[in-house]
Amino acid sequence: MRAAQNDGMPTALVTGTSTGIGLHTAVGLAAAGLRVVATMRDPSRDGALRAAADAAGTAVEVVALDVTDAGQVARVVAEAGPIDVLVNNAGRGSVATLEQLTDADLQAQLDVNLIAVARLARLVLPGMRERGSGRIVTVTSVGGAVGQPFADAYCAAKFAVEGLMQSLAPAVAPFGVQVSIVEPAAVASAFVENVARPSEPGPYDALLDAYLVRAAGTFANAQPAEDAARTVVEAATTATPKFRWQTSDAAVAFAGLSLGDLDGTRVLAATSSWLR
């Protein structure tokens, strides 16, 4: 079904809006005066989003979208009309080290966290370029700056998408298109409770246990998703855009650990300590 058009209002397309950062970003952009096309794989899970929009006195348009389905992505972008702001928020996590990962596991991370982002950006860029304005904001992670044990596939995909966006940014800026990435640290979720462990015992079990103990402490004090989303909304709407944003002091400190570590010594010292 074609999404309704609201003449005179800039349009934002936000992926992964059924929960968390995506939900609050969609509501925040609508509250800022944008027409928001809020996408999710299963629109029957739109209850929390609609309730949050109602509580904020605004509304969003919910559209079904599996970001790994190229045909569906193309249809949604075309039917949404001219898109002024694209927020790539849909993502996928993984907990396993390389020996435990199959090619299919790696591909699944790349499909959601890299290829889908590239596909959406490619589709909205011609219109933005021709109109001379636009914003592409991609929610990555501090895992796109700091490689972390047992997040091998996830960090690999997030590193890749940060490289893609950083390479794209200067090429499209002369056409009025601003590209940004937003790096949250831990955001409140049921990550530790829901994590899928390797099914068979193996040599990495003790290290994984230590990692999960640390992760439990980190997520127990995690940033609320609504707070993190405020940074995404700011990146999408500010009059003074920049490329790299972090959503909290913890994210600033953690991303900075890698960005200022030219030989990698500080990063490996820090992440190795997580497994002891």
The alpha-helical segments, DSSP class H, found in 81-147 are 103-110, 116-131
Query: What span, in angstroms and rounded, lies between the C-alpha atoms of 205 and 203?
Result: 6
Res 146: pLDDT: 96
Evaluate whether residue 133 is within a structural domain.
yes
What is this structure's pTM?
0.93
Report the share of the chain in percent with pLDDT over 90: 85
DSSP state of 223: B
Which residues are catalytic, by number? 154
Evaluate whether residue 253 is within a structural domain.
yes
Evaluate whether residue 153 is within a structural domain.
yes
Q: What is the CA radius of gyration of the chain?
A: 19
Q: What is the pLDDT of residues 245-270, one digit of tens each?
A: 999 999 999 999 888 888 999 999 99
DSSP state of 7: T
Evaluate whether residue 240 is within a structural domain.
yes
DSSP 42-68: -GGG-HHHHHHHHHTT---EEEE--TT
User: Domain range for residue 42?
Assistant: 11-273
Mean pLDDT of 65-82: 98
Evaluate whether residue 4 is within a structural domain.
no
3-class DSSP assignment, residue 11: strand
Neighbour order of strands in the sheet with 85-88: 61-64, 35-40, 11-14, 85-88, 134-139, 177-183, 244-246
Evaluate whether residue 5 is within a structural domain.
no
Tell me the pLDDT band of 4, cut-offs 50, 70 and 90: very low
Tally of domains within the chain = 1
- Other C-beta atoms lying within 10 Å of the C-beta of residue 7: 6
| Mean predicted lDDT score pLDDT of the chain | 93
CATH of the domain at 224: 3.40.50.720
Evaluate whether residue 64 is within a structural domain.
yes
Evaluate whether residue 2 is within a structural domain.
no
Res 193: pLDDT: 61
Tell me the pLDDT band of 219, cut-offs 50, 70 and 90: confident
Q: Contact, 259 vs 55, CB < 8 A?
A: no
Residue 261 CB contacts under 8 Å (≥ 6 apart), including other chains:
267
Res 188: pLDDT: 87
Query: What span, in angstroms and rounded, lies between the C-alpha atoms of 179 and 242?
Result: 8
